[in-house]
Amino acid sequence: MAKQTVLKVSEGKTEEAIKGFLKSLLEKGVIEALLIPKRLPSGDGFAQTLIHDPEKMDGACALSLTMPVQSARVASHLSIKNLNKKVAAVLKACEIRAIVELAKFLQVKLDNLILIGVDCPGTFEVSDYSKMIQEGREGEKLTGEILKGMERGEVAPPQGYVFRPACEMCEYPVPKADIHIKLFGYKTDEEVGLEIGEKLEKELEEKGILSFSGNEPSSRKEIVDKVVTERAKKRDAAFQEFSGEV
């Protein structure tokens, strides 16, 4: 059975707290490489990057708001060719579901692949995110605004922009993973939830990375249900509109 704990956030720097936790997985030898989105030098986008050296985590962002590639395919190639090295991949819920399907067709080896899933508010088109940054919206501030909305279950894009249509209708924003980073219902400027599966819980505790205690906020389930309900309404409206056109 998975165990729960929280990751404390210092000075409201949620991304830094998550990055520090992921860095410790490399430092303590839990994993040998980490696949994670990393900010482009321009700051207006992200690219999936494979990191071996924990000192090269600058720019890594588990909370990226774009999805330039479907990372399930990237993880598939890594799992087939990683020469038995332990690799962790930070993925969105839809990417994890894609990996599960690829595994059924023997296109992903899960033996040495650790799945790290993050609650997903939705993503922007790459071009829209780039435009927002060029207009002067600071990337970390934008992420902070989205996180505030996730605390209440009221996730909204900046005025004049929308999430990708598939994200607006997605009913599965919460991933099932070996490590689950929980954001919905949490005051993420203070703490982030972690759920660790049986595959890793003993090792993380023995290596002093985490201690397990506490439960998720009592309001979390209600907030997740609220998000899913709103997305289901958008899905039904889209289906109805489509059926009227054919």
Contact (Cβ atoms closer than 8 angstroms) between residue 77 and residue 86 = no
Q: Kindly report the pTM of this predicted structure.
A: 0.94
The 33-39 sheet, strands edge to edge: 3-8, 191-196, 179-182, 113-118, 87-92, 33-39, 46-51
Helix 71-81, helix 93-104: angle, nearest 10:
50
Alpha carbon 205 to its chain centroid, in Å, reads 22
**pLDDT, tens digit (0-9, with 9 covering 90-100), for 62-114:** 999 999 988 998 988 888 876 688 999 999 999 999 999 999 999 998 988 99
Q: How far apart, in whole angstroms, are the C-alpha atoms of residue 55 and residue 104?
A: 36
Residue 239, pLDDT above cutoff 90: no
Q: Which of 182, 229, 221 is nearest to 63 (CA)?
A: 182
**pLDDT, tens digit (0-9, with 9 covering 90-100), for 124-138:** 999 999 999 988 887
Helix (H) or strand (E) holding 232: helix 220-243
Contact (Cβ atoms closer than 8 angstroms) between residue 182 and residue 220 = yes
**pLDDT, tens digit (0-9, with 9 covering 90-100), for 1-35:** 789 999 999 999 999 999 999 999 999 999 999 99
- Which of 102-116, 134-148, 154-168, 223-237 is predicted with the least confidence, judged by mean pLDDT? 134-148
Paired residues of 116 in beta bridges: 90, 179
